[in-house]
Amino acid sequence: MNVEKAGLDDIDDLVKLRLDYLCEDHGILSEDDLTVIRRDLPGYFQAHLDKDLFVYAIREDHAIVSCAFLLIIEKPMSPSFINGKTGIVLNVYTCPSARRKGYAEMIMNTIISDAKEKNLSVIELKSTEDGYRLYRSVGFIDDRSKYHMMKWINK
């Protein structure tokens, strides 16, 4: 199996995989949330794919069965990201029927290789317990900080 970058022709598959990931991660989504995501996500992919969002994929019989997103952001420089170019890995997902074949590891290694080529200072991700061992094995470390992770939610 080879890791490839998904393109605009893959948007329908990417929407489905994103929804599968979200349902597995968050549980059953509300009909309102499903409606918004199905309506707006194709436009997001259209606007961002291969610009600041790169989707790495593995196919079986022409269908994407494993993927991960790399969102590239440029921030003002700091010692933590000296050139300001950072990556955020999102949506690491493998269809249940394709799990335990090493696909996520292959994708993560490709992302790391591309991050070096793109001269990213750092790649960040949030890991579930299930993914923690994988990310450690490909070189991610725990991010210890004096800062608290916080967020504001628009309700």
Within 8 A by CB and 6+ apart from 29, the residues are 19, 22, 23, 37
- Which residues are CB-contacts of 8 (< 8 A; sequence separation ≥ 6)? 45, 46, 49, 50
Output the tens digit of pLDDT for each of the chain's 155 residues: 899 999 999 999 999 999 999 999 999 999 999 999 999 999 999 999 999 999 999 999 999 999 999 999 999 999 888 999 999 999 999 999 999 999 999 999 999 999 999 999 999 999 999 999 999 999 999 998 888 888 889 98
All domains of the chain in start order, with CATH: 4-137 (3.40.630.30)
